[in-house]
Structure 1
């Protein structure tokens, strides 16, 4: 609520991806917003799915941290190399520019809050309905980090939510199909 007040926003429409999707849903649960669109939101996992996601993220960070920048830059020059570096989060990693892949890989390696965020996420489980606020939950059909069946679980927990499947999209669908994501965001805020 404090951020919205500071920005002088009265119940904005919010959207978020992954952890941002979970935060958007929490804002909706607190009725601080007009609508929520959550893209592959965290928190709808089983313990095994959470362990899997955190293990994958930790491995990605470890690899990124050990890889010299010149190696990352070399891999990022080809679509195959970009696939090696980012296929866990993008369904269409070849669409990323080499510069974006290098920047993303370095950001993952250097993220100061990474370990703290994973520790905090270990106990996160979204278990309560969101009432009085329209909710759209969209999930990439090719999400390899937070698997699509978690969207079905989200629909069970938030029965009035609109569940949207994002064909051809991975965990970060904005890259894979920007036009589709834009339509989902616009529809969710109506």
Structure 2
């Protein structure tokens, strides 16, 4: 897998979302590299890494990432993922022994019913629009109104984002060879599997933007139900990409959560997680009696 390495210190793996590439992390890359050695990869089918010869799914991407870590003597590395990459780091944590501490930012895969169809159809239409606009995407992204229109689903503050960051990301979506297959897999393929309580020994934090219009905030309770060892952090004024909408807060969360102690991570974690777990348990009990 193509990747970049920068900074010094304890290694930290960054996994981008659907259609993205290593530059997706640009808003926080320098600040993370000031404290850690950062390894930001292009997953297979995205950026400069070729698509897998066979199926592209969370399972096969997890297999490929595991092989990459073994080959580069990075087994047990702390890992951060965004969106699809967040689901991927949760899968690596669930498997055990592959990664250390994990921060999953707005992970996909926790939708139910109509949410699944809403996710697929909205992203399906968006990528086709972007492909039609490909020749003029940089010019549209240079305009605040253009960024607001193109990123209304993804960012709570699209007009404040750097034009180059937005242009790089959207052009990466258009160029990615694994986008369509993985989109279908995420929406209608394998179900997200969880990890029993006390099965994950390292810090595990799930971050969620309260204004996420891709993975709706209500899905956070399902994530906690499947990963009861996780702690939840709410990003109050953020959409689907907290590292874009709130880069300083995201950097602080990552560095504190992965400092090696759960107690440190808990300082930045919302008190709402216990309430969400209680609601999910009640929902499960109600479904089991009907």
Regarding TM over 0.5, the answer is: yes
- Residues 1:132 and 2:200 are matched in the alignment: yes
Larger radius of gyration: 2
C-alpha separation in 1, matches of 2:75 and 2:138: 44
Secondary structure of 1:82's aligned partner: helix
Aligned to 2:251: 182
Post-superposition shift, 1:147? 0.6
Aligned mate of 1:147, from 216, 229, 233: 216
Post-superposition shift, 1:123? 1.8
CA shift digits 1:107-127 (9 cap, x unpaired) = 222321111112222223223
CA shift digits 1:148-174 (9 cap, x unpaired) = 111111112212210110111111111
Secondary structure of 1:34's aligned partner: strand
C-alpha separation in 1, matches of 2:138 and 2:206: 35
- Residues 1:54 and 2:120 are matched in the alignment: yes
Aligned to 2:50: none
Q: What's the TM-score, normalizing by structure 1?
A: 0.91
Unaligned runs of 5+ in 1: none
Does the C-alpha gap of structure 1 residues 153 and 68 become closer, same or farther in structure 2, counting only changes over 3 Å?
closer
Secondary structure of 2:214's aligned partner: coil
C-alpha separation in 1, matches of 2:115 and 2:255: 30
- Residues 1:117 and 2:182 are matched in the alignment: yes
Q: Which of 1 and 2 has higher RCO (CA within 8 Å, sep 6+)? A: 1
Aligned mate of 1:163, from 232, 237, 244: 232
Post-superposition shift, 1:106? 2.4
Does the C-alpha gap of structure 1 residues 98 and 132 become closer, same or farther in structure 2, counting only changes over 3 Å?
closer
Aligned to 2:155: 90
CA shift digits 1:43-98 (9 cap, x unpaired) = 1111321211111111111111112523x344323212110011211111112222
Secondary structure of 2:122's aligned partner: helix
